[in-house]
Homo-oligomer: A and B are copies of this chain.
Amino acid sequence: MSRIAYFGPRGTFTEQAARLLAAGEELVPVETVRLAMTAVREGEADAACVPIENSVEGVVPATLDALSEASPLVAVAETILPIHFSVLTRPGTAQIRTVASHPHALAQVREWLEANLPGVHTVASSSTSAAAVGVLEGDFDAAVCAPVANEHYHLEVLATEVADVTDAATRFLLVRRPGELPEPTGADRTSVVAAAANRTGTLAELLTELAGRGINLTRLDARPTRSNFGEYRFFIDFEGHVAEPRVLDALTALRRHCRTLRFLGSHPRADGTRNTIEAGFGNDDFVEAAVWADAVRKGDMA
């Protein structure tokens, strides 16, 4: 059985994602995103499950930073969870006067609380799980939690699928030490982080290398590097798999432009969206062009 570190505590959405990405494995909650990855880097865990982006809040900066520091890790799988909550109470609670959760979660169910528990007093807790523990211990009457929380706390479920924004979702990654890559599926995502000088036009050059190969971006984030003022790290996600000739060709070109370029993985997309391949940009076009260029170099063709 593998040992999978995840950003804890127990009973959160990240545990729920880890159960999907590593079903049947030993799941170990770790206090921060960085420490979950450290556990993998130091061999204490085989993989880590961490959140990477949320459709409302955007990217998770701690995950980007931890992916780009220390020794390389690669993403081998992803999953997307809809963010809706369960409201949990102690069995037999007659009236709900107080409801606790992390302030982020309370903000995401405010309208639901106004409509369904009017006048309830909201209390901030350090995590959604801590709110469930508080309910167990009698500190509050109800807790707003990830659905998986109740697998640990066995409270009464007052409501499920609670969310003011019904299409909010978070994407999670499973990362490992570098090794065998997942097979390409035709609906893949490749991620890199590029450190480049803060010079006019740097990012335009990188993106033009991808565009010139017909490769579609799926996400781009720029983060200042802490250590070197004026230097940026660009986190670039795009369609395709490094096993494809066109993606390998693009990575080779990016490598020339960047002070450092780190490969963060190629893996199937959770949403199943197929790679965009426009006319003249297929892998066979790249293979054919390479065969032609090789023949030219040998003097067999012109």
Say whether A200 contacts B207, CB under 8 Å.
no
Interface-facing stretch out of A43-51, A180-188, A215-223: A215-223
Q: Does A70 contact B (CB under 8 A)?
A: no
Query: Of residues A200, A210, A212, which shows the largest number of chain B Cβ atoms within 10 Å of its Cβ?
Result: A200
A53 to B259, CA, bound (A): 26
Find chain B residues with CB under 8 A from A211 CB.
200-201, 204-205
With contacts A58-B58, A203-B220 taken as known, whether A126 is within 8 angstroms of B102 at the C-beta atoms is no
Q: How far is the CA of A222 from the CA of B124 in the complex (A)?
A: 31
Task: Number of A interface residues at 8 Å Cβ cutoff, please give it.
Answer: 38
Using CB atoms, name the residue of chain B closest to A102.
Answer: B103
Oligomeric state, in copies? 2
Contact: A208 with B200, CB < 8 Å?
no
The answer to whether the Cβ of A300 comes within 8 Å of any Cβ in the partner chain is no
Closest to A65 in B: B56
Quick one: closest B residue to A57, CB to CB?
Answer: B61
CB distance from A275 to the nearest CB of B (A): 11
Whether A210 contacts B219 by the Cβ 8 Å rule is no
The chain B residue sitting closest to A59, CB to CB, is B58
Give Cα distance in the complex from A57 to B205, angstroms: 27
Q: Does A106 contact B (CB under 8 A)?
A: yes
Interface residue? A122 (CB, 8 A): yes
Q: Inside 8 A of A223's CB, which chain B residues have their CB?
A: 58
Q: A58 and B56 in contact (CB under 8 A), knowing A200-B278, A211-B200, A211-B204?
A: no
Residues of B within 8 A of A57 (CB): 61
Report yes or no: B204 in contact with A208, Cβ–Cβ below 8 A.
yes
**A265 interface residue (CB < 8 Å to B):** no
Choice from B59, B126, B204 contacting A103 with Cβ under 8 Å: B126
User: Interface code A222-260, partner B: CB below 8 Å = 1, 0 otherwise?
Assistant: 111000000000000000000000000000000000000
CA distance A55 to B232 in the complex (A): 12
**Residues of B close to A61: CB separation below 8 A:** 56-58
Q: Are B221 and A221 in touch, CB under 8 angstroms?
A: yes
Q: Which of A46-84 contact B (CB under 8 A)?
A: 55-59, 61
> What are the residues of chain B within 8 A of A201 when measuring CB–CB?
207-208, 210-212
Residue of B nearest to A223 (CB): B58
Contact A124 B106 (CB under 8 A): no
Starting from the known contacts A204-B211, A221-B222, 7 additional A-B residue pairs (CB-CB under 8 Å) come to A103-B127, A124-B126, A201-B208, A203-B220, A204-B204, A204-B210, A220-B220
Query: Which residues from chain A sit less than 8 Å from chain B, CB to CB?
Result: 55-59, 61, 102-103, 106, 122, 124-127, 130, 198, 200-201, 203-205, 207-208, 210-212, 214-217, 219-224, 276, 278
